[in-house]
Amino acid sequence: MTARFPLLPTSTPLTYGQKVFLLATLPLLLAVFLIWQVVSDQFNQLAESELKALETRLIEAKREELTNYVSIAMAAVSGTTGRATPDDQDAKLAVSRVLAAMLYGQDGYFFVFDYDGTNLVAPRQTFLINRNWSGLTDPNGIAITDELIRIARSGGGYHSFDWPKPSTGLDGRMLVYVRGYQSWRWAIGTGVFIDDILETVAASRAEVEARIRRTSFYVSGIAIAAVLGVFLSGIVLTIRQRRLADGKLQQLTQRIIDTQEEERGRVARELHDGISQMLVGVRYALELTRRKLGPDSATGDSLNKGIDQLGSAIQEVRRISRDLRPAVLDDLGLGAALRSLTDEFSDRTGISTDLVTIVFRNRLDDESRIALYRIAQEALTNIERHACADQVQVSLHGSRKGAVLRISDNGRGMIWPPPARTGNGGGLGLRNMQERVEQLGGFLLVTASPGAGTSVEAHVPLSHMLGPDTTIAKESTA
Smallest CA-to-CA distance from 410 within 357, 353, 459 is with 353
CA-atom Rg of the chain in angstroms = 37
SS3 at position 112: strand
| pTM, to two decimals | 0.41
Smallest CA-to-CA distance from 138 within 130, 129, 147 is with 147
Q: What's the pLDDT score for residue 321?
A: 65
Smallest CA-to-CA distance from 377 within 340, 415, 414 is with 340
- Domains of the chain, with CATH numbers? 15-225 (3.30.450.20), 328-419+427-470 (3.30.565.10)
Q: What's the pLDDT score for residue 18?
A: 53
The list of the chain residues with pLDDT below 50 reads 1-11, 17, 230, 361-362, 421-426, 470-477
Smallest CA-to-CA distance from 49 within 157, 256, 208, 175 is with 208
Q: What's the pLDDT score for residue 422?
A: 43
